[in-house]
Structure 1
Amino acid sequence: MKGLLHRRTARDRDTPATSTGGVAGVVAPASVEVTPRFLRVGDGYAATLVVTGYPAEVGPGWLEPLLAWPGRLDLALHIDPLPAPVAASRLRTQRARLESSRRADSDRGKLSDPYVEAAAEDAADLAQRLARGAAKLFRVGLYLTVHARTEAELLEACAQVKAAAASTLLEVQPATWRHLAGWTTTLPLATDSLQMLRTMDTQALAAAFPLASPDLPAPLPGDPPVTGGVLYGVNPASNGIVWWDRWSQENYNSVVLARSGAGKSYFVKLEVLRNLYQGVHISIVDPEDEYLRLAEAVGGTVVRLGMPGVKINPLDLPVGDHRPDVLTRRGLFLHTVISVLVGHPPPPAERAALDRAILAVYRQAGITADPHTHTRPAPLLKDLVGCLETDPEPAAAQLAARLAPWVHGSFADLFNGPTTHAPLGHLVVWSLRHLPDELRTIGTLLALDHIWRQVDLPVQSRSAATPPVRRIVVVDEAWLLMRDGEGARFLFRMSKAARKRFAGLTVITQDVADVLGTELGQAVVSNAATQVLLKQAPQAIDALADAFSLTGGERRLLLGARQGQGLLICGIARTGFEAISSEQEHALCTTNPAELYDDQEDEDDL
C-alpha cells in the first residue's frame, strides 16, 4: 500500500505570508511517498528506527555512538515527566510483582532468578531515592530517522545505525507501517506520534543528553564568526572538519609531541604552508634538512650553517633596530657567545678584559651609540681577539689564547668573514645538519639570535601604514635544544614573550621525557595554548597522560593512532584529527625515503 502526499503549489490569497502554512509551504518537501518499510521524502529516502531495549546500566554520553555516526541521522528524545504520586503508585505495583515472583519461587523450592533479584533491588533503591526527592521518573521515547539518497544506501545506513546502537547495548526496531508517524516524530514539532515509551529516572536521562561532542565547539550565540585559521585535518569520529586558528587563542604558541615516524614534521609542514598563504613570516630551526624542499618551492631562504663559504658574524648589529641601547645589548650578547666558545663563563678578570675589548673594537670600526653609525661594516671576531692581544692585562692575553682556535684554527670557518647570507624573507630555514658537534652549540645560538632579532624588532621601525607582521618560529627536534642551556633559555624566553611581539613558537619533539622532565620544558608546554599529540610510545604514555590529563579513551587513541592521526588540545576543547593534504602539499611535506627515491628516479628519467 502506498500513499502520496503532494505539497500545495498555490497559497490561498487570503492567507497572510507570515502564517505557519506559508512557512510550511516553503520548507516542506515537494512530495512524501509512504511505503511499509521507508518513506520517499522529496529526492531522498528515510526510515525510522525505534529504540525498544536499553542496557541495565549506562554511563555519561551513552548516546555518543549514535550522535557521532558519520551520516545524516535525526535523533529525537521525547521526555514526559511523571507526577510523583503516579510514579510512586506504579513503582509500588512493580515492586509488588517482583516480590510476588520471588516468594512464589521460594515456596516452590526453586532457585532465585538473578534477573528478578537485580530488578527488585533496583526498584527498592529507586523507591528510596524517589521518596527522598533525590530522583524523579520520566516517560522517554527515543527515535532515529535515517536518511539516504537511494533505497540501497538507506538499507546499508540502517544496518550501520543498528550496529552503532548495538555497541551501546541498545535494541532498535524499524517502525514498519508507521514510518510517516516516525518521520514526523523526529521533526522539531514536539509531537510523539509513536508513543513507544520507557520509564527512566533522573540519572539515566541526564546521562543521555549530548553534553559532549567529538568536534570542536562552535562560537557561542552573539560571538563574532570565525574568519581566520587553517585546516588541520578531518575528525575520524565524525568526519567533521578540524579548522583551527592559533591566532585567536590566549597565546600563539603550539607544542607537537609524538614518537619518531608518527608524522609530526609532516603535520607542521602543512601548517607552515597554510600559514604562508595568509602572509605569516616563518623561521625554522631545522636539524635534519627536512624543510629544504618546502623552502625551495615557496621561494624561502635557506642558511646552511657548516657548509663551505657560509659565515655568520656574531658582532653584526640588528638591521632596522634604532633603539639607543642596541650597542649595549649586542655587547651583552657577545659575552654569552664567548662563554659558549670557551665552554664556561670566563673568570672576572677575563670578563672585564672582554668588556673593554668589545667597546674598543666597535670604536675602531667607527660604531658608537649614535644610530647613524650602525650601518657601517661591523668588526669581526678576529678584530675582537686583536683588541684582547693588545690589552696589557695578562687575563686579556689568556682569553685571546683560548679564542685562537675560533679565529685562526680548525673552528674558524664559521666566523672568519662577514655574514654571507641575509636571513630575510617570508620563510627562513636555518639548517644545522652540516655543523660538526663542536660547532653545533654556537651555530644554534647564532641562528636563535638572528630569529629573536627579527621577532623583537620594535614597532617603531615599521611603517605606520603597515600592520605588524605575524611570525611563527618553528623549532624541530626541540629535545636537542633542551639539552643545551642557551637553547633551553631561548625556548623559555620565546614561549613567555612571543605573544607580546605578535609571534608564536612551535616546539616539535619526539622525546617527551626531556620536555616534561625539566622545569623549562614544562614551562614551554604550559605556555602553549595549542597542544598537538600524535602517536605515542607505551613507555611515554603515562607521563603524557599525567601532564595533559588524558582520559582512557584518549590514551588508547594515541597508542593506536595511524600516521598523521592525533589529538588537538586547547584548554577544555579536545578533538581527534587526521592530517590531510593535497598531492602538491604531500610531495613537499613527505619524508618517506621510498617516496623520495621514486621521485628522484622519475626526475633522472626525465
Structure 2
Amino acid sequence: MANFWQFKDIKDGVIIMKTGQYRMCLEIFPANFNLMDEEEKRRAIIGFEQVLREIEIKYPLRILVQTRKTNANDYINQLEHTYSIRSIGTYDLFRKYADFIREVNKDYEIITKKFYLILEFSELKYTLSKDIISREEKDTKKKHEITEEEIFQEVRQSMIAILTTFKSQFQAINLKSKMLGTNEIVKVMMAYLDEEKFLNNREFYEHIDEQRQRALKQNIPFSVINKISPDFIEDENVDLMSINHKSYLRSEFLSELGSHAYIDWFKELVMFPYANDLMFTFTSKDAGETVTKLTEKRHRIEAKIFDEKSQHKPKNIADTLVLESTEKIEKQYLRSEIKPIDLKIEATFRSDTIQALNMVHMNLERLLNRKMMRSRIYHYEQFEGLKGTFIGGYSDTSTRNHRDLNTDVAAFTFPFIIPQISSSTGILYGVDEINRSLVTIDRKELESYNRSIIAATGAGKSYFIKLDLIRSRMIGYQSFVLDVENEFEMVTHYLKGKYIELNDKSIYYINPFHISGPEYKAQKIEFVRDLLKTMYGNEKISVTDITYIEKAIGAVYEECLTKNYQPVLKNFIKAIESLQRNKTIENLLIVLRSYHEPSHPQYYLFNKQQNIDFANDDLIVFALKYVDKRDFVVAVILESYWNYINHPKNRAKFKNLIVDEASQLFQSGLIVEKLGSLALRGRKYNSGVTTIVQSINHYYQSPFPRTSDLFDQSSLTLVMKHKVSDSFDKLNEKVHINTPERAYLERLEIGKGLLIVNDSKIPLSIKSSEEEDRVCTTKPPV
C-alpha cells in the first residue's frame, strides 16, 4: 500500500505530491451533446482548444471521467443504511419504493458520471532559492527565510488564478464548474478506493477538514492517507488487481486512436455504461523542438520530390499531400495558432467479479474495433495503471502509452458531453429519456438546496411535487408546503401529516412575534417593524417615527427575554402607546387596536400563542386558497419557519419549504424578502426552498427585485410543458436554451420536462408506482 500513495497530504483544496508538485481540481458540469446541433458542438470544441493551449510545458492537465454503475439492490441497501430507514418509522414507504425501483431497474440502469479537471503545478522561484528579500529589508540586505507555508500559499494563489481562467473559458461555452475543497477531493478519492467505506462514514468524510482541526487541537496525529486507505490493494493476476477482495480492477490504455479526429470522437467511450475511471492526460511540449522536427521532415519530403522530379518519375500525390499538410502545420506553429500536445488516455474498469470484468473488457474491444481504435492492458504493470487513473497519482511505466498530437486535434477528445446523474443516496426523480438511466438526486450534494419548477397548469408539476413529498418523507426529510390552490390534502393524509387552514375557526395558531433567543433580537425587530408597516397599509411613516417604533419593539423583546415569555400584539400596542403621540402614531394605534379586537378576521393571527410545533411534524401543509388576507398569513408562516430553522437544535434534519403557485405571492414585499433570505441563507440551516411558477418571467417581472434570487440561487430547475414562446428569451439568458432544446420543450408531453442541474440538461420523464400515482393524481378517476 505504501507504494501506491504518491501524495502526502490534502490541504485547503490542494493535493500536495511527494515529488514537490501540487494539484487542484475543478468539477465540470457537462453539456448534453444529444441536445446540441453541430455548430454548437463545434463551438464547444474550439473553446476546449483554448483551454488546452493554456497548458504550460512540464505541467500536465488531466481530465478524469468517473463512471459508476449500481444495481437496484445495492442502491436500496445503501439508501436504507444512509438514512436509517428502520429507525425513523418510514419502512412501509421504503418497502414499496424498493419494490418499484427493482421493477423499473429492469428497463433502466442506475449510472452516474462525474467530470474533473486536475491542474498540476510546481513550486515557484522559492523552490530553488529558499530565501527572499522583502522591500523593507532591501536597504539592510537582510535575508528572510521562506517557510513551507509561504511557498504553499503562493503556489495555491497562482493555481487559483489559472483555474479561474479555466472557469471563464468553460463558462464561455456554457459549461459550469466549481473548485473542489478538501472534503470534495476526499470524496472523489473514496469513490475510487472504497466507496462503501465512505458511504458508511459519510458524516466523517464530508467534514474531514473539521476532524483534522479537532485532532490537531488535541495534539492527536492525523493523516488523510490513513483515513482513506482501503484495507488491501493486491495483484490478482498479471492483468488484474483487487481492492479489499470486493472490487476487481483492470487498467488499460489506448494504443491507437483511429484514423482521424471528428466531433463525437470519444462520445461512445465516455458514455461506456460500465463502472470505470477514464483519465485523459494532456502534456504540453516545446513548440520550438516540434517546429525543428517538422522543418527537417519538410526538407526530406521536398528533397524526395525534387529527386523524383529530376529522374522524371511519376508525381507521387501522397508525398505532395504530406508536404502541404506539413507546411500548413509548421505555419500554424510559427503563428502560435496551435501547440504540440502529448496525449495519454488510461482507463481502469471495475466490477464485483472477475467474470463480469472480463465481459466488460470484451464489450470495450467491440466498441473500439468499430471506431478503429485499440487498447492495451497494462500486463505486469497493473499497479502503475491503477495510479494513472487516480486523482492523486500518475503512472510511471516502461510501456509507451501516449501519442503526439496538436491542440486542434486533441480538442476533439472533448469529454464533457453527457450528464448522467444517479446518486446512491438520492431519491428517484424520473428517467433520462436519451440514456435510459434512472435519475436519482441527493439535494445535499448540490451547490444549493433550492429548486425552481416552471410549468403550466396541467403539465404535471403538482404531481411531481407530491411524488417528491412521498419520497422525501421516506428518507426522513421534513416538508412544509404553502398550498395556494389546496391541491395537497390527499397526499398529506396519506403521509399522516397536518393539513392546516389558518382562520378564526382553526385550532392551530402561529405567533409571528415568537423569538427563539436573544441572538435573534435584531432580526425580529426588523420583521415586526415591516409587519406593522404592512398592517398600517404601507402608508408613509417618517424616519423619526420608524426609529421610535423600532425602539419600542426592542423594549418589548428585551422584557420578554428577561422575563421568559413570548409577546403578542397587545405587548407592542402597549409599548407604542408610551411613545410621544403624533398623527402617524395615533393612526397606527387605531389600526393595531382593530387587529386586537376578537371580532377582527385576523385576530387569531396576532393574538394567540403558537401551538404548531414545526419540530415534531415531518409534513405540514398550509391550505391558503380561501384564507382572508393571504399575504399576512403567508408572511407569518414564513417568519415562524425562519424562527424554527434558525434554532441550533433544529438543524440536523433536512427541511424542505415548497411554495406552490409562488407567483401569486410575489406581489408582497414582506413575503419576497423572507423567501429571498431563505434561498440565500437556507443551506446554512439545512433548508431548501422549492418555488413553482408558470413562467420564468414571474421571477423577473415582480416589483420586488429579490424575487430573482429564488431562481438565481437554485441548483436544480425543472422546465415542463408551458408556453415556451413567452419565456424563451429569459430562459435562454439564464440557462442557455439552444435550438434543439427549444424544440424539445415545445413538444413536451405531460409528466416530462427538461431537468437542469448545475447547468447540465437532462430530458426527464417522471416515473411513479401505481400506488403513488393514485395518491398524486389531482383528480383521481372515479
TM-score class, shorter: 0.5 to 0.7
Residue number in structure 2 paired with 1:275: 472
How far the C-alpha of 1:566 sits from its partner, in A, is: 1.8
Q: Give the conservation status (yes or no) of the 8 Å contact 1:311–1:413.
A: no
Q: Does structure 2 retain, via aligned residues, the 8 Å contact 1:288–1:432?
A: yes
Report the equivalent of 1:532: 718
State the SS of the aligned residue for 1:369: helix
TM-score (norm 1): 0.60
Q: Counterpart in 2 of 1:266?
A: 463
Check 1:356–1:301 CA distance in 2 against 1; reply closer, same or farther (3 A cut).
same
Deviation at 1:494, TM superposition (A): 0.9
Once the two structures are superposed, residues 219-254 of structure 1 have per-residue CA deviations (whole angstroms, 9 ceiling, x without a partner) of xxxxxxx54211111111111111212101222112
Q: Could you say which residue in structure 2 is the equivalent of 1:431?
A: 623
**2:643 paired with 1:453:** yes
C-alpha contact (below 8 Å) 2:735/2:759 kept by paired residues: no
- The partner residue of 1:543 within 730, 740, 744 is 730
The alignment status of 1:483 with 2:675, answered yes or no, reads no
CA distance in structure 2 between the aligned counterparts of 1:344 and 1:184, rounded to whole angstroms: 70
2:612 counterpart of 1:422: yes
Match of 1:564 in 2: 751
Q: How is 1:80-95 mapped onto 2 (pairs within 5 angstroms)?
A: none
Residue by residue, what CA displacement relative to the aligned partner does 1:387-438 show, whole Å, maximum 9, x if unpaired?
Answer: 66687735443322233543335534544752575143111112211113xx
1:158-557 aligned at under 5 Å gives the runs 211-216=415-420, 226-306=423-503, 308-309=505-506, 312=509, 314=511, 316-318=513-515, 321=516, 323-325=517-519, 329-344=523-538, 347-348=541-542, 351=546, 354=549, 368-370=560-562, 373-374=564-565, 378-379=567-568, 381=569, 384-385=572-573, 393-395=581-583, 396-408=585-597, 411-415=601-605, 418-419=608-609, 421-424=611-614, 425-436=617-628, 439-457=629-647, 459=648, 461=649, 468-517=652-701, 519-536=705-722, 537-557=724-744
Q: Which residue of 2 aligns with 1:583?
A: 770
Q: Do 1:233 and 1:578's aligned partners in 2 also have CA atoms closer than 8 Å?
A: yes
- Please give the secondary structure, in 2, of the residue aligned with 1:539: helix
Structure 1: unaligned runs, 5 residues or longer: 1-15, 24-53, 72-82, 93-121, 137-178, 191-200, 219-225, 602-606
Give the match for residue 201 of structure 2.
none
Query: CA RMSD for the aligned pairs?
Result: 5.3
The residue type equivalent to 2:470 in the other structure is L
Deviation by residue 1:323-368 (Cα, 9 ceiling, x = unmatched): 22556654443222221112115624764675576578779xxx63
Q: Give aligned-pair identity as a percent.
A: 20
Over 3 Å counting, the alpha-carbon distance change for 1:231 and 1:187 in structure 2 is farther
Structure 1 position 508, deviation (Å): 1.5
Q: 1:406 to 1:63 in 2, by over 3 A?
A: same
Give the paired residue count: 453
The one-letter code of the counterpart of 1:248 is E
Distance in 1 between residues matched to 2:323 and 2:752, nearest whole Å: 47
After superposition, give the CA deviation of every residue in 1:294-342 in whole Å (9 maximum; x if it has no partner): 1111121222124633564545524xx3x22556654443222221112
2: CA distance, partners of 1:400 / 1:310: 28
1:503 Cα offset (Å): 1.2
CA drift at 1:446: 0.7
SS in 2 for 1:237: coil
Distance 1:215 1:358, change over 3 A: closer
What code does the residue aligned with 2:744 have? L
Q: Could you tell me whether the CA contact under 8 Å between 1:70 and 1:239 is conserved in 2?
A: no
Q: In the TM superposition, what whole-angstrom CA distance separates every residue of 1:110-144 from its partner, at most 9, and x where no partner exists?
A: xxxxxxxxxxxx999968746757899xxxxxxxx
- Secondary structure of the residue aligned to 2:561 is coil
Which AA in structure 1 matches 2:581?
Answer: E
Does the CA-based 8 Å contact 2:500-2:508 persist in structure 1?
A: no
| Residue pair 1:301, 1:423 contacting (<8 A) in 2 also | no
State how far apart, in whole Å, the 1-side matches of 2:636 and 2:695 are.
24
Unaligned runs of 5+ residues in structure 2 are 1-234, 243-259, 275-293, 306-320, 340-365, 378-404
The 3-state SS of whatever aligns with 1:428 is strand
Distance 2:742 2:410 in 1: 26
TM-score normalised by the chain length of structure 2: 0.48
Q: How far, CA to CA, are the matches of 1:310 and 1:272 in structure 2?
A: 25
Aligned to 2:132: none
Question: Structure 1 pair 385/579, CA: closer, same or farther in 2 (3 Å)?
Answer: same
Between stretches 514-523 and 571-580, larger displacement belongs to 514-523
Distance 2:522 2:500 in 1: 27
Quote how far apart the aligned CAs of 1:573 are. 3.0
- Could you tell me which amino acid in structure 2 is paired with residue 61 of structure 1? D
SS of aligned partner of 1:581: coil
Q: 2:421 touches 2:439 (CA, 8 Å); kept in 1?
A: no
Question: Which shifted more, 351-360 or 551-560?
Answer: 351-360
- Rounded to whole Å, the distance in 2 between the matches of 1:587 and 1:499 is 33
* C-alpha distance in structure 2 between counterparts of 1:272 and 1:415, whole Å: 27
* Equivalent in 53, 61, 82 of residue 264 of structure 2: 61
1: CA distance between counterparts of 2:371 and 2:549? Answer: 85
Q: CA deviation at 1:261?
A: 2.3
Pairing of 1:2-13 with structure 2 (within 5 A) = none
Match of 2:449, as an amino acid? Y
Partner deviation per Cα, 1:127-176 (whole Å, 9 max, x = no partner): 8746757899xxxxxxxxxxxxxxxxxxxxxxxxxxxxxxxxxxxxxxxx
TM-aligned CA distance change 1:368 to 1:521, over 3 Å: closer
Change (3 A) 1:394 1:278: same
Pick closer, same or farther for the CA change 1:20–1:276 going to 2, 3 Å. Answer: closer
- How far apart, CA to CA, are the structure 1 residues paired with 2:693 and 2:523? 31
- Report the more deviating stretch, 308-317 or 573-582: 308-317
> Which letter does structure 1 place at the counterpart of 2:659?
V
How far residue 509 of structure 1 moved from its aligned partner, in angstroms, is 1.1
Query: Partners in 1 of 2:752 and 2:770 — Cα distance?
Result: 18
